[in-house]
Amino acid sequence: MSAYRKLVSSEAIALLAALCIVAIFVGSYYQRRLDTSDEQALKVAQQVYQLLSKPSAKAANQAQAAAATPAPEAVSLARLKALGLTDPAPITIKVLDSDPTAWKVDVEHPRGIRHYVVTPQGVKEEMR
C-alpha cells in the first residue's frame, strides 16, 4: 500500500475528480444546446405539417361551388410562406418531393443532430 501511496497522492485524486466533474458539466451544456436546436426544428416541422395537411377553406369553397375540383398545387417554399410559414432564420427547409399528394419536406437546424422529414403521414425524426 505504501508504494501505491507514493505514486498517487490524495491531491491528485481530488484534482482528477474535479476534472471529471467539469467535463460532465461542459458535456451537459453542449447537449442542452443540441436539444434546444432540435426542439426548434421540431416545432417548425410540426408547423409545416399543419400548414400542408389541412385543406384550405378557399379550396373547399371552390370545390363545392364548381363541379370539377381544382388541381392541387405543388409543394414549394413559396407556397409554404403563402400559407403562413414564418421565416425560421437558422432552420433550413428543403422540399424533397413536391408532388401535391405525396409531398416530402426536410427540416433541420444547422447546430442540431436530428432532422425531421415531414410527409402527409406525419413528422418523422431521423439522425443526421
HEC string for 89-100: CCCEEEEEECCC
Residue 18 in domain: yes
Question: pLDDT category, 2, cuts 50, 70, 90?
Answer: low
Q: How many domains does the chain have?
A: 1
Domain contains 2: no
pLDDT in tens, 34-86: 999 999 999 999 999 999 987 654 555 554 544 445 567 788 888 888 888 88
Q: Indicate whether 1 belongs to any domain.
A: no
Domain range for 33: 9-127
DSSP-assigned letter for residue 49: H
Residue 41 located in a structural domain: yes
Can you tell me whether residue 126 is helix, strand or coil? strand
Instruction: List the one residue out of 96, 95, 82 whose CA is nearest residue 51.
Output: 82
Q: Rounded to an integer, what distance in angstroms lies between the CA atom of residue 75 and that of residue 86? A: 16
